[in-house]
Amino acid sequence: MIAVDEAIARIVARSRTLAVETVPAGQALGRVLAADVLADVALPPFDNAAMDGFALACGGGVLAAGREFEVVGVRAAGDARIACGDVCRIMTGAALPAGLDAVVPVEQVEVLARDPDGAPVRIRLNEAVSPGQHVRRAGEDVTPGARVLSAGTRIGAVERLALAALGVGVVGVRRRPRVMVISTGRELVDDPAQPLAPGRIRNANGPYLAAALAQSGAELVGQVTILDDPGHYLATLQAGMATGCDVVISTGAVSMGEFDFVPDALARIGAEPVFHKVAMRPGKPLLFAVLPGGALYFGLPGNPVSAAVGLRFFVEPALRAMLGRPRERPLRVPLANAVRKKPGFRLFQKAALRIDRDGRAGVTLLPGQESFRIRPLLDANAWAVLPEDADLLPAGTPVEVFGLQPDTLIPYGDD
């Protein structure tokens, strides 16, 4: 039996970074950047008005309230070539005319005269105006050459916003990990319309793993349910290997029972065993091996929460390494209540992370921690991780807390 941290280290060490693909930025949602994105333009690209009002020149000093000015011209967004005088009307986002360095909002002036069309031609300042007020300076947001996005960043809507603002049309991203899922068990039923015979259950692990893998940026190349038969298993596994998949995940048949055939079957095809059994609960029987050709193999226990823990905390680090992503960092949150546990095992617990009215965070372990219980997962919003060597953890003890899905709880800063 191996410790959790050592198991994860061995997995990451065997996870090869995937090749780079170039895709249009508009098709890159969910993909992972292979290189930093550097700005080749300034944002904003020019000095512009932050408010509707009047652009004028302060000449390095403050214009006192009561000053009067003639207004010549108007500058709207996109009208950078339209000539203006020393004071002109200006709209939000419009380029500041050359020589002008401040904007006074319309509500801070008194219009003294208008032309026949009703446009202001003479104004008086109701308040003092300082140089640079209500002006967005060129490069104030992003300077040319600045790193805007780092390699390993997964592209979401906000990242897409930045790429569009910078005019980035194509990006280099890591190829998606290709994953096959094999559910083992003669008791499993895939068809939701099929009535359950005595002793049969619905296959929940397969659909769960497929959905979670998609959220992690993987490409599902196969999802198969097989009987507890070594021959059928090996034929299915070898067919999956022939597709060039990077990862194979199976559920069930990895413990010590009469029908737990996966370890022996892997040995028959020359797979390299890396570890089998981890000092944790749930999911202790987890198996990790390297298949001929280099694909990674994860044998997860069949109980649904054990499979979920195996995917979340062991498969996910491999996928991140393949995509060039940094290892996920947990929050550290105090326990809301005292907890007792058996030393020697790291526990991954369904939990509720809460913020009280005073802004204090606390994490509560939910009832129903058994590995067959999926109902508590619907009430959970986090995983709480209890350390191996602990026996009694008093209320207030900080523990590691992860989101149910990767990157849903992200610590801020480097601490």
Considering the domain architecture, whether residues 210 and 348 belong to the same structural domain is answered as no
Instruction: Tell whether 206 is covered by a domain.
Output: yes
Average pLDDT of 94-101?
Answer: 95
Instruction: Tell whether 315 is covered by a domain.
Output: yes
State the DSSP code for 4: H
Instruction: Tell whether 199 is covered by a domain.
Output: yes
What is the DSSP track for 262-303?
A: HHHHHHHTT-EEEEE-BSEES-TT-EEEE-TTS-EEEEE-SS
Structural domain range at position 167: 21-43+140-174
Count of H helices and E strands in the chain?
Answer: 8, 29
Is residue 226 pLDDT above 70, yes or no? yes
Owner of token pair 């083992």 = 184
Record the tokens describing residue 150, joined without a space. 């780092």
Domain boundary among the residues 174, 196, 223 is at 174
Q: How far is CA 48 from the centre of its chain?
A: 34
Owner of token pair 């990242």 = 159
Considering the domain architecture, whether residues 256 and 290 belong to the same structural domain is answered as yes
SS3 call for 315: helix
Instruction: Tell whether 413 is covered by a domain.
Output: no
Average pLDDT of 380-400?
Answer: 96
Considering the domain architecture, whether residues 70 and 83 belong to the same structural domain is answered as yes
Instruction: Tell whether 389 is covered by a domain.
Output: yes
Considering the domain architecture, whether residues 26 and 169 belong to the same structural domain is answered as yes
Considering the domain architecture, whether residues 169 and 187 belong to the same structural domain is answered as no
Considering the domain architecture, whether residues 25 and 170 belong to the same structural domain is answered as yes
Which amino acid, one-letter code, is at 375?
R
Instruction: Tell whether 414 is covered by a domain.
Output: no
Question: What is the band of 197 on the pLDDT scale with cuts at 50, 70, 90?
Answer: confident
At residue 364, what are phi and psi to the nearest 5 degrees?
-115, 130
Owner of token pair 């059928």 = 232
Q: Where are the alpha helices (DSSP H) in 47-97?
A: none
Per residue in 130-180, pLDDT tens?
Answer: 999 999 999 999 999 999 999 999 999 999 999 999 999 999 999 999 999
Instruction: Tell whether 408 is covered by a domain.
Output: no
Name residues whose C-beta falls within 8 Å of residue 412's C-beta, 6 or more positions apart in sequence. Answer: none
CA distance 47 to 148: 20
SS3 call for 305: helix
Owner of token pair 């410790």 = 3
What is the DSSP track for 350-402?
A: EEEEEE-TTS-EEEEEPS--STT--HHHHH-SEEEEE-TT-SEE-TT-EEEEE
Q: ω before 282 within 30° of 0 (cis)?
A: yes
Considering the domain architecture, whether residues 260 and 297 belong to the same structural domain is answered as yes
* 174 touches 19 (CB < 8 A): yes
Q: What is the pLDDT of residue 284?
A: 95
Domain boundary among the residues 174, 191, 221 is at 174
CATH code for the domain in which residue 119 is found: 2.170.190.11
Instruction: Tell whether 415 is covered by a domain.
Output: no
Q: What is the pLDDT of residue 228?
A: 86
Record the tokens describing residue 166, joined without a space. 């910078």
Count up the domains in the chain and report the number: 4
Per residue in 233-292, pLDDT tens?
Answer: 999 999 989 999 999 999 998 986 666 899 999 999 999 999 999 999 999 999 999 999
- pTM reported for the whole predicted model: 0.90
Is residue 61 pLDDT above 70, yes or no? yes
Q: What is the pLDDT of residue 374?
A: 93
Per residue in 116-131, pLDDT tens?
Answer: 999 999 999 999 999 9
Considering the domain architecture, whether residues 30 and 56 belong to the same structural domain is answered as no
Record the tokens describing residue 197, joined without a space. 């015979």
CA distance 51 to 138: 16
